[in-house]
């Protein structure tokens, strides 16, 4: 077993689950154990900057993964609903007594399906919009913090 896997397993965290907390812990451990004596004179806050940047990217990644999961769930639910309605419509066609009744049934089905597809497109766009906002929020906050820090240093 690799050394990093042993540490992860010992700490009780699941291997493969990357969170901002596990990343920052790993960075702190790595920076405290592997820094040569010559590097100790380097700015100590450099590892903090790297840690904060990496944490922001991990948060952004988590937002994307949650968004993709929500999109998948939405598509599966919509697909299931459409299949069931197709089956029900097919069964209803068998009971039609004349072509006009069958045409009316098909027309109503088509009209309803088109409205459902439009509504579903709106739902998907709303999920993607939320996903984009949640993706950029930690990155924007980190960039703003960095810019504020640079502004304060330049004064």
Mean pLDDT of 76-97: 94
Give the model's confidence band at 28: pLDDT under 50 very low, under 70 low, under 90 confident, else very high. Answer: low
Q: Where do we find the tokens 């689950």?
A: 17
Contacts of 130 (CB under 8 A, 6+ apart): 67
pLDDT at 46: 64
Contacts of 57 (CB under 8 A, 6+ apart): 138, 139
pLDDT at 18: 58
Dig out the tokens for 16 from the structure: 């493969």
Give the model's confidence band at 76: pLDDT under 50 very low, under 70 low, under 90 confident, else very high. Answer: very high
CA distance 99 to 101: 5
Q: Who has greater pLDDT, 119 or 29?
A: 119
Q: What is the pTM of this model?
A: 0.61
pLDDT at 67: 95
Q: How many CA atoms lie within 13 A of 24 on its CB side?
A: 13
């Amino acid at each position: 077993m690799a050394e990093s896997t042993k540490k992860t397993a010992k700490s009780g965290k699941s291997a493969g689950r990357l969170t901002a907390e596990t990343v920052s812990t790993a960075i702190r451990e790595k920076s405290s154990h592997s820094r040569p004596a010559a590097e100790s004179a380097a700015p100590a806050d450099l590892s903090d900057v790297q840690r904060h940047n990496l944490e922001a990217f991990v948060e952004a990644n988590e937002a994307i993964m949650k968004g993709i999961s929500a999109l998948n769930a939405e598509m599966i639910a919509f697909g299931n609903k459409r299949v069931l309605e197709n089956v029900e419509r097919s069964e209803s066609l068998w009971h039609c007594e004349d072509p006009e009744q069958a045409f009316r049934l098909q027309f109503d089905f088509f009209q309803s399906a088109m409205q459902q597809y439009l509504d579903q497109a709106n739902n998907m766009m709303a999920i993607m919009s939320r996903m984009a906002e949640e993706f950029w929020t930690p990155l924007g906050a980190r960039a703003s913090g960095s810019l504020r820090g640079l502004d304060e240093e330049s004064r």
